[in-house]
Amino acid sequence: MKATIDEDRCRGHGVCLGLCPEVFSLTDDGYAEVTVADIPAEYHDAVHEAVRNCPEKAIVVE
């Protein structure tokens, strides 16, 4: 599983970071980024939770 952030949509709310800090972080500018190329299975549920709860719907998973 891979995740990406739509940079045009992200507003830096940080919900993803709060739900799964093992996969997401915030840049120096305060916007979300994915820090793991291939997300381990143990984090899949948390990433899907982040997708569902992102206020801007900026997270895309494949």
What CATH number is attached to the domain comprising 52?
3.30.70.20
Which position has the token pair 């992102």?
Answer: 54
* Number of domains the chain contains: 1
- Where on the phi/psi map is residue 59: left (φ > 0), alpha (ψ -120 to 50), or beta? beta
Each of the 62 residues of the chain gets a pLDDT tens digit; together they read 999 999 999 999 999 999 999 999 999 999 999 999 999 999 999 999 999 999 999 999 99
Find, among 44, 22, 26, the residue nearest to 58 by Cα: 26
pTM summary value: 0.94
Q: In which domain, by residue range, is 27 found?
A: 3-61
Instruction: Find residue 34's DSSP bridge partners.
Output: 24
